[in-house]
Amino acid sequence: MAELVRAERKGAVMTITIERHERRNALNERVAEGIVAALGAAEQDVACRAVVLTGAGDRAFCAGGDLQPAADGTPFTIDVADPRHYVVRLLKRMDSCRLPLIARVNGAALAGGLGLLCACDVAVAQENAVFGVTEVKVGLFPMMILPYLLRSIPYKRMMELCLTGEPISAAEACAEGIVNYVVSPAELDARTDWLVSRIVDKSPTGIRLGKQALSKIREMSTDGALEYAQFMLANMARTQDVAEGFAAFNAKRPPNWTGR
């Protein structure tokens, strides 16, 4: 059986690629489980500092759930005996990932594919990519990705996308903060590498604890968030990476991060 997700580490970066080019890299259970497994492997690899998520080919990053007849693993059914849907497991696993997640958007990011993009921390897109939530066109609504859309897109704009099902361009997605950078297809790898290089030379401890804190603060009241933030800041100040960061700053030298 062909692998639907390929994971490869080069240097400090693990690249996870959805390998369903013929189905526009559509999601099914095997794809979701492959991404989850690859994220786990990346976190266990002490040399890995960041994860890039992308799709095979140049047509689609991920076109969402597979709508083809007799699709393998449609995301639109729930097992009533075990309602833990694989898309929910995937999104929650992306949420809890301790490494920075960078989306390399090599084509269309639609429906659940836009959800995957919004679950990443930062994103680079090629200029001919399109973005949208098309579920309303088949009588559905983008239920499971709504929390991630709300994080990334202003409410009224998000509702326009959900209610009309109409796509937007990469330039519009960038102007609205859905992606960080838009480049030509020829520049996609170079700009992704450039962005990743600015991340992997920073403290892995600081990033890991920062992501952990953000996932909690996002769900808190302002008072609760401030109380939690000062607790986390005091804990971070006791890490070896912070001691090294201050020492390197005062010695005017590059820091030697240990991740501790």
Pairing between β-strand 130-132 and β-strand 168-169 as defined by DSSP bridges: antiparallel
N- to C-terminal Cα separation, the chain: 40
How far is 53 from 41, CA to CA, in rounded Å?
A: 14
Structure token pair of residue 20: 């369903």
Contact residues for 120 (Cβ-Cβ < 8 A; gap 6+): 53, 94, 101, 102, 103
Amino acid occupying residue 40: G
Helix or strand or coil: residue 3? coil
Q: Return the active site residues.
A: 135
In this structure, are strands 122-126 and 108-110 parallel, antiparallel, or unpaired? unpaired
Distance CA 116, CA 149 (A): 10
* Contact by Cβ (8 Å): 130, 169: yes
Q: How far apart, in whole angstroms, are the C-alpha atoms of residue 135 and residue 115?
A: 12
Amino acid, single-letter form, for residue 137: K
Q: How far is CA 38 from CA 16, 51, 167, in A?
A: 7, 9, 30
Question: Whose structure tokens read 């240990």?
Answer: 258
